Amino acid sequence: MANHLRFVGRTVMVQSGGVEAAYGVLNRMLAQEGVAEALRRSRYFEKPSRARRRRAFEACRRVYCGEMARRIAFLARSSRQDPWPGC
């Protein structure tokens, strides 16, 4: 059942012969899930030291991006008081 739901989640409907548009949508969905990158990575052997470095870099990047998103959301919140009133 889980495999079926995963397949349905990746299904793209082609409307009136718009195959190029549907192909672009499918590529965008697969890129967001990291399927193409995983395929490219598994094509050749990755040395264990390189795999550790890549995983560490990806973890650092996730932490950094999450922290920056949190800061931006804090600054862009609607209930924020004006820091320079009257200017």
Which pLDDT tens digit goes with each residue over 29-79? Answer: 888 888 888 888 889 999 999 999 999 999 999 999 999 999 999 888 888
pLDDT given for residue 64 in this prediction = 97
pLDDT given for residue 34 in this prediction = 85
With 60 as the cut, is the pLDDT of residue 1 above it?
no
- Structural domain boundaries in the chain: 19-77
pLDDT given for residue 18 in this prediction = 84
Local confidence band at 4 (pLDDT 50, 70, 90 cut-offs) = low
Mean pLDDT of 12-29: 86
Please give the full DSSP string across 32-76, using - where no structure is assigned.
HHTHHHHHHHHTS---HHHHHHHHHHHHHHHHHHHHHHHHHHHHT
**Residue-wise burial string across 57-86, b where 16 or more C-beta atoms lie within 10 A, e elsewhere:** eeeeeeeeeeeeeeeeeeeeeeeeeeeeee
pLDDT given for residue 26 in this prediction = 87
